[in-house]
Structure 1
Amino acid sequence: MIDFEACFPFFIACLIPTILVWVFSKSTCPKSHFPPTPFALPIIGHLHLLSSIPHQAFHKLSYRYGPIFRLFLGSKPGIIVCSPEIAKEFLKTHEHMCLDRARSSATDYLSYGNKGLVVAPYGVYWKFMKKIVMSNLLNGRTLDMFSLVRHKEVYRFINSMSKKARVGEGVNLGKELMKLSNNVISIMLMGDRCTDDKKDVADDLMNLVADMFQAIGTFNLSDYIWLLKSLDLQGVGKIAKKLRARLDVMIERIIKEHEEAREHGGEIKDLLHILLDIEQDESMEIKLSREYIKAFIMDILLAATDTSAATMEWGLSQLINHPNIMKKALEEIHQVVGENRLLQESDIPNLPYLQAIVKETLRLHPPFPMFVRKSTEDFMVAGYHIPAKTIVFINVWALGRDPNHWESPHEFRPERFQGKENDIDVRGQHFHMLPFGSGRRMCPGISLAHFMVHTTLGTMIQCFDWKAGKDGNLSSVDMEEGVGLTLTKANHLVCVPVARIDPIPLM
């Protein structure tokens, strides 16, 4: 929550000029042309209506003001979208007018001046980076090249859980799944995993990723109240500078190690190796500088570690709370895979109920609960005027709970995704379910997430029963949401694994 009392003197000092600006802006277009708007306060606009979990607050406001409404976040106008039909207008019909991401001072700095693919403005450079990512870094051929890496790391994780099961020890699965995702991404990206003998490196990388998420997800008053723009009241700018300095040191060391290995004829097969090849390719239409490489590494670290781990943690939490669904999933795995080997990526197409479980998890717990865009032109949506330079919040969390599209939307029911009549995918074509976005700015790592989440969750079901609580004595898992840029649990899932089969001979 924002400490308004601490900032009250600033608010009073800015009161009169801000009221004049606000009144003038309201008179530039007939009120009826704008979406519905709650009563706003001077200076802070509608910030007082938000909670520490904005997507939930927006969803509640939509009950009163409708599926599209307007808020002032300080001095910045925003449009909130909680309807699949209206989301489609923004993301498909008028996509060309909403291709830019909304920016913040923290993302500007951490992404080396918006050089990363995730936050770069739509244009020539963004198209160049998207082409590199899709044709060189996250295409089918490259993902196939790293299939053995994912296979080994998932089995290493299962082996670790098996050791815990033998002694009946409770496990913080949130932390362990984060470590698994981190190891896979580290090997794919930089050629080395954060093993136990490099615990300091592992902890530093995991802490760095967590700290960057917190900095980017912090609501910075200086970004929204124009008279405070030059003031770093909450210290977000100072924190961002320290984080980028830490990131610089880590990435520079890794890049130098790769360059030295290349000079000595070493053949390194990872994403950084591919990026260094592109950097030296004179035929490229845009020169790939060192800062571009660093920004891409930051993108991968942020987009692929926390999100996959959180999805797997939410999925297992739901299964523990719904033992009948867990039982049905186990029966399918035993029928398709058996008990003489561990589930593999090649089994996923033959496990439709496991796929349904993952889809239902993504519906209720999308990795990013909101997508934030910025309009570049004036246009009309649902009969309303949307001005240029307006922040657009697509509430993905609310879309997945729309009662007009989902029966009993708050219930965890994987069966809703079974059968041809419910063949809903997660690749941005069904606007009542957009866990990875839609259109040109859809998440490029969807295939990697598909492999990691299905295989890991499937092997966890196959090998263990999971008893909630540190001592395995809780009857259910709490499903409270945490605060942050991504949708994580407020309290990590802690449980005791009980072995169904011994995975060690199967590895």
Structure 2
Amino acid sequence: MTAIPYVLAFFTLLFITVFIQYIFKRPCKKPAGYCPPPSPPSLPLIGHLHLLTPVAYKGFHALSNKYGPLLYLRLATYPAVLVSSAPLATEIFKALDVHFASRIKSPFDDNLLFGSSTSFFNAPYGDYWKFMKKICTTELLGTSQMKKLKNVRREEVVRFLSKMLEIGQKNEVANLSAEILTLANNSTCRMIMSARCSGEDNQAEKCRALVSESFDLASKLALLSVFGPLKRIGMWYLRKKIAAVPKRYDELFENILLEHEEKAKREGPNMENKDLMDILLEVYHDENAEIRITRKQMKTFFLDLFTGGTNTTSDAILWILAELVSHPAAFKKLREEIDSVVGAERLVDEADIPSMPYFQACVKEAMRLNPPVPLFDRICCENCKLAGYDIPKGITMIMNAYSIMRDPEIWDNPNDFIPERFLTEVDNARAKNLQVYVPFGGGRRMCPGINMTSSLINCSVTAVVQCFDWKVIGGEGSYGSKVNMDTKPGVVKSMDKPFMAIPVLHNNLFSV
């Protein structure tokens, strides 16, 4: 009971703060001819917050269906423009890409480990971001480095398949959501720093836990930032966590970096089996580098890779498998393609993927329907026009990939899983046009980790289809039918309920 006065005081302060901002920060008169995007009906103080839904991208999708593909929204004190159609995305990422080449500022202060000044993913468009993008493309996350790490991914996939075999032999139910997350965590940890996230290596497990805490803390700070000055109150309330999480992460990665530096000294410049941390350390110690990166920037970059390479990758694999299991004809057709390319004597390999057009079509279609990050942001760097409307400098653009890739003007039967659509020249060309097909974002700020995510998707999904059948538990309909495709509340597209299924061995090609 003693907490009630504090709760009332908080909401009273919230109301007063937002009211004052509403009075003193109301938009001033615009110049003659100024034409802002259309806006749904709003309420005083809260603006359009009442129109949002727990599943954010679906709420935005409903808004665009009702009011149009380009909308001005005011989320309490936070103005934004919502983009929900493929033609608008094309205009942004082609004609106006340089105007929207920056992302929103990190909710963490710049003096913290996770601040925008150190994060590559959130860094402003400039020299540091361009340098890191080039390093990612040519050395860290390029096709060549991913090929060198192929055995790492294969070992983790075989470990996953062996676990499924053990569960299936006991006729037990596998929690695929948990097991595939472990697969993604282990693969990412080993590619970045040669350590697994489960088992005896406690460092990697600590890193996984810290990534989870960071996500939780960032989401709270992002929510508070909508209410302007109240963010400071929230930061005061969360001050211990805001200080503790970056400090623990800094200490953990400093130890790992020191271990890698000692290994580099022992083995010399011709060191074999380099992970991503080894490569970035070489850049860090290169006195002739185009830009000298700091130790803090390195640590934040690895956090970026963990956050982008674990949960989102596991979500992508789960959605692809869910679509295939829920569509038996597609599952069967894919298995037949794998057998025709690989045969029945060996496990499918990443090198086989270019010879599997139907598999590639299945992945594209599942990602079109289920982008793991359906909402991504851009900042308008200077005043410009979009579709004839004025977009002011500094405003946040919310790009709804979920809507863009279900645009009925572009896709026939946009809500249906039809992999064959990507086997035709016309529709396959759409997939290559990243302004229409945007599961990884688009333009200059497209996700730099595409190769890392795609490589794990390729080796895991093909192996799972090749080796196992799946009896779904708790799905829609009767035993062994469709997977429950409901999604969790929030801004990412994650399954609301765990993907539970009994693995039934089809062909053991991984433990012989």
| Counterpart-to-counterpart distance in 2, 1:113 and 1:102 | 9
Match of 2:23 in 1: 20
2:445 is aligned with 1:435: no
2:469 is aligned with 1:465: yes
2:498 is aligned with 1:498: no
Match of 1:390 in 2: 395
Q: Deviation at 1:11?
A: 3.7
Match of 2:452 in 1: 448
Task: State how 1:282-431 maps to structure 2 within 5 Å.
Answer: 282-424=287-429, 426=431, 429-431=433-435
| Counterpart-to-counterpart distance in 2, 1:16 and 1:216 | 26
| Counterpart-to-counterpart distance in 2, 1:432 and 1:446 | 17
Q: Deviation at 1:77?
A: 1.3
| Counterpart-to-counterpart distance in 2, 1:481 and 1:148 | 33
Q: Deviation at 1:32?
A: 6.5
Q: Deviation at 1:329?
A: 1.1
Q: Identity, % of aligned pairs?
A: 34
| Counterpart-to-counterpart distance in 1, 2:18 and 2:348 | 62
Task: State how 1:122-201 maps to structure 2 within 5 Å.
Answer: 122-198=125-201, 200-201=202-203
| Counterpart-to-counterpart distance in 2, 1:214 and 1:6 | 25
Instruction: Pick closer, same or farther for the CA change 1:84–1:235 going to 2, 3 Å.
Output: farther
User: Is the contact between residue 203 and residue 252 of structure 2 (CA under 8 Å) also seen in structure 1?
Assistant: no
Task: State how 1:239-318 maps to structure 2 within 5 Å.
Answer: 239-265=241-267, 267=271, 269-318=274-323
Q: TM-score, normalised by structure 2?
A: 0.91
**Bigger shift: 141-150 or 349-358?**
141-150
| Counterpart-to-counterpart distance in 2, 1:182 and 1:426 | 28
Matched to 1:301, the amino acid is F
User: Is the contact between residue 170 and residue 470 of structure 1 (CA under 8 Å) also seen in structure 2?
Assistant: no
| Counterpart-to-counterpart distance in 2, 1:239 and 1:166 | 44
| Counterpart-to-counterpart distance in 2, 1:214 and 1:352 | 39
Deviation track 1:427-454 (CA, whole Å, cap 9, x = no partner) reads 6x24221011112111112122222112
Q: Deviation at 1:203?
A: 4.1
2:55 is aligned with 1:47: no
User: Is the contact between residue 471 and residue 504 of structure 2 (CA under 8 Å) also seen in structure 1?
Assistant: yes
**Bigger shift: 351-360 or 210-219?**
210-219
Of 101, 104, 116, which residue of structure 1 is paired with 2:103? 101
User: Is the contact between residue 369 and residue 486 of structure 1 (CA under 8 Å) also seen in structure 2?
Assistant: yes
| Counterpart-to-counterpart distance in 2, 1:317 and 1:469 | 12
Matched to 1:450, the amino acid is S
Q: Deviation at 1:249?
A: 2.5
Match of 1:488 in 2: 494
Of 205, 208, 211, which residue of structure 2 is paired with 1:209? 211
Q: What RMSD in Å do the two structures reach over aligned CA positions?
A: 2.4
Matched to 1:393, the amino acid is I
Matched to 2:96, the amino acid is H
Match of 1:479 in 2: 485
Give the 3-state SS of the residue equivalent to 1:177 in structure 2: helix
Matched to 1:121, the amino acid is P
Give the 3-state SS of the residue equivalent to 2:503 in structure 1: strand
Deviation track 1:350-403 (CA, whole Å, cap 9, x = no partner) reads 111111110011101112101101111111111111001100001001111111
Matched to 2:196, the amino acid is R
| Counterpart-to-counterpart distance in 2, 1:381 and 1:417 | 29
| Counterpart-to-counterpart distance in 2, 1:379 and 1:152 | 50
Instruction: Pick closer, same or farther for the CA change 1:245–1:324 going to 2, 3 Å.
Output: same
Q: Which runs of 5+ in 1 are unaligned?
A: none
Q: Deviation at 1:290?
A: 0.6
Give the 3-state SS of the residue equivalent to 1:437 in structure 2: coil
Instruction: Pick closer, same or farther for the CA change 1:127–1:504 going to 2, 3 Å.
Output: closer
Match of 2:74 in 1: 72
| Counterpart-to-counterpart distance in 2, 1:239 and 1:438 | 34
Give the 3-state SS of the residue equivalent to 2:313 in structure 1: helix
Deviation track 1:157-209 (CA, whole Å, cap 9, x = no partner) reads 112211111111211111111111111111111122234233x5454333322
| Counterpart-to-counterpart distance in 2, 1:280 and 1:203 | 28
User: Is the contact between residue 11 and residue 43 of structure 1 (CA under 8 Å) also seen in structure 2?
Assistant: no
Matched to 1:400, the amino acid is M
Instruction: Pick closer, same or farther for the CA change 1:430–1:274 going to 2, 3 Å.
Output: closer
User: Is the contact between residue 108 and residue 115 of structure 2 (CA under 8 Å) also seen in structure 1?
Assistant: no
| Counterpart-to-counterpart distance in 1, 2:168 and 2:181 | 19
User: Is the contact between residue 82 and residue 396 of structure 1 (CA under 8 Å) also seen in structure 2?
Assistant: yes
Deviation track 1:476-506 (CA, whole Å, cap 9, x = no partner) reads 2210112344321111211110000123444
| Counterpart-to-counterpart distance in 1, 2:76 and 2:60 | 16
Q: Deviation at 1:116?
A: 2.0
Give the 3-state SS of the residue equivalent to 1:373 in structure 2: strand
| Counterpart-to-counterpart distance in 1, 2:440 and 2:395 | 22
Matched to 1:351, the amino acid is M
Matched to 2:30, the amino acid is T
| Counterpart-to-counterpart distance in 2, 1:315 and 1:42 | 43
User: Is the contact between residue 81 and residue 87 of structure 1 (CA under 8 Å) also seen in structure 2?
Assistant: yes
Q: Deviation at 1:276?
A: 1.4
Q: TM-score, normalised by structure 1?
A: 0.92
Q: Deviation at 1:330?
A: 1.2
Matched to 1:72, the amino acid is R
| Counterpart-to-counterpart distance in 2, 1:150 and 1:8 | 50
Give the 3-state SS of the residue equivalent to 1:466 in structure 2: strand
User: Is the contact between residue 481 and residue 489 of structure 1 (CA under 8 Å) also seen in structure 2?
Assistant: yes
User: Is the contact between residue 222 and residue 228 of structure 1 (CA under 8 Å) also seen in structure 2?
Assistant: yes
Matched to 1:446, the amino acid is I
Matched to 2:412, the amino acid is E
User: What is the aligned length?
Assistant: 500
